[in-house]
Amino acid sequence: MAKISFHAITKQYPGTSRPAVDAVSFDVAEGSTCMLVGTSGSGKTTLLRMVNRLIEPTSGEIVIDGKNVLQENPIALRRRIGYVIQQVGLFPHLTIAENVRVTAEIAGGWTKQRLDKRVDELLELVGLPPAEYRKRFPRQLSGGQQQRVGLARALATDPAIMLMDEPFGALDAITRERMQNELLRIQRDVQKTILFVSHDIQEAFKLGEQIAVLDQGKLIQLGTPVDLLAQPANDFVRKLVGGDSILRQLEYLPVIDALEQDTVASARGGDVPTFLSDATLLQAMLKLLETNAPALAVQDKDTQQQLGFITLASINREITHAHGHKTERTETAI
């Protein structure tokens, strides 16, 4: 378990007019997944690579578990951080088993038996049956399979932190989605602190508990997917997260945003379908259309306490409210 804190971290390459990463400060909580999103050149990869010191910051601090990484031996630091990249970078002359175990081998302190067992465990974890894949070579695997090996290799020493630089960016849409689901499944078991660079906002919404939006090296906004949708910090964030898309909003905004207390349904008392408070507006809307009920009762997901009602009208109000917000802002801009 490990918490990562960025304190005014800055990287300026010599001969450039503006920093690639500009005084970025934020925290990534233990065991959570933080997505770094932004257009290319936003500094997200640079920021990621400063954590394991593949790039040295110009100024600022990165603190992991209260220790400044800049005061650590970079080799030792990298050995306790998992690293996964888009191009995978498997070693072509080594078998799949050797590729997975090499991380643990160089870190040291593993007996041969433990290594063998660990390799099989990891291949199993990433969905590659060890008996079939152990002795194969990287070029005999598809892109998706190679990235599974890349993931297994990064997990070999059971690091508390994982750095992932667009790991699924080069995969086709179907494989990418499958890998995202796998990562979510694995993350439920292993609970790593993950810093994940992505240029795919859909992916960021799916995998991230926190999303850090970067633009031209600056941290524009840090928040949950819902935060970014409901209160985008500026037009850039709104465009990036697709805040204009009604479907996207329905998909992520929670039902409690569109609650109302006095409805026809409330007068009839409890005679309507019940929904839990962590459902999304889309789920509620589909339920309303499906059952033809005038309203849904919303209960708190923990206490079962009735919180209010939701109707098609209240959903509509919430969505138009978000859009009205946008029009207002655009006018101010003009």
Partner 1 sequence: MNALLDFIADPHNNFMGQSITYLRICAISIMLAIVIGVVLAVAVSRSPVLSFIAVNLSGLLRAIPVIAFLVAVVPFLGIGAPPATVALVILGIPPILLNTYTGIRGIDPATIDAAKGMGMTYWQILTRIQAPLILPIVAAGVRTSAVQIVATATLAAITGAGGYGAYIFDGFNTFNKTAILAGAIPVAVLALIIEVAMGWLERALTPIGIRREAVQSQMVVKQGEVAKA
88 touches partner 1 by CB under 8 A? yes
Number of residues forming the site for partner 1 (CB under 8 A): 31
Q: Which of 44, 78, 148, 192 touches partner 1 (CB under 8 A)?
A: 78
- Tell me if 99 sits within 8 A of 126, measured CB to CB: no
95 touches partner 1 by CB under 8 A? yes
Pull the structure tokens for residue 83.
Answer: 């690293």
The rounded distance, in Å, linking the Cα atoms of 24 and 11 is 10
Task: Please count the CA atoms within 13 angstroms of the CA of 240 that sit on its side-chain side.
Answer: 29
75 touches partner 1 by CB under 8 A? yes
Q: Which of 20, 34, 62, 83 touches partner 1 (CB under 8 A)?
A: 83
Q: Which of 3, 7, 79, 134 touches partner 1 (CB under 8 A)?
A: 79
Nearer residue to partner 1 within complex by CB, 84 or 298: 84
Q: Report the site for partner 1 in 252-311 (rule: CB under 8 A).
A: none
Nearer residue to partner 1 within complex by CB, 84 or 179: 84
- Tell me if 147 sits within 8 A of 171, measured CB to CB: yes
DSSP characters for 32-65?
-EEEEE-STTSSHHHHHHHHTTSS--SEEEEEET
Q: Count of CB atoms within 10 A of residue 217's CB?
A: 22
106 touches partner 1 by CB under 8 A? yes
Q: Report the site for partner 1 in 108-147 (rule: CB under 8 A).
A: 136-140
Pull the structure tokens for residue 209.
Answer: 């508990």
Nearer residue to partner 1 within complex by CB, 80 or 287: 80
| Residue corresponding to tokens 């997200």 | 44
The mark string for 147-176 relative to partner 1 (x by CB under 8 A, - otherwise) is ---x--xx--------x-------------
The rounded distance, in Å, linking the Cα atoms of 242 and 251 is 12
Q: 143-155 vs 112-125: helix axis angle to the nearest 10?
A: 130
The rounded distance, in Å, linking the Cα atoms of 174 and 155 is 24
91 touches partner 1 by CB under 8 A? yes
85 touches partner 1 by CB under 8 A? yes
Residues that bind partner 1 (CB under 8 A): 52, 54, 75-79, 83, 85, 87-95, 102-103, 106-107, 136-140, 150, 153-154, 163
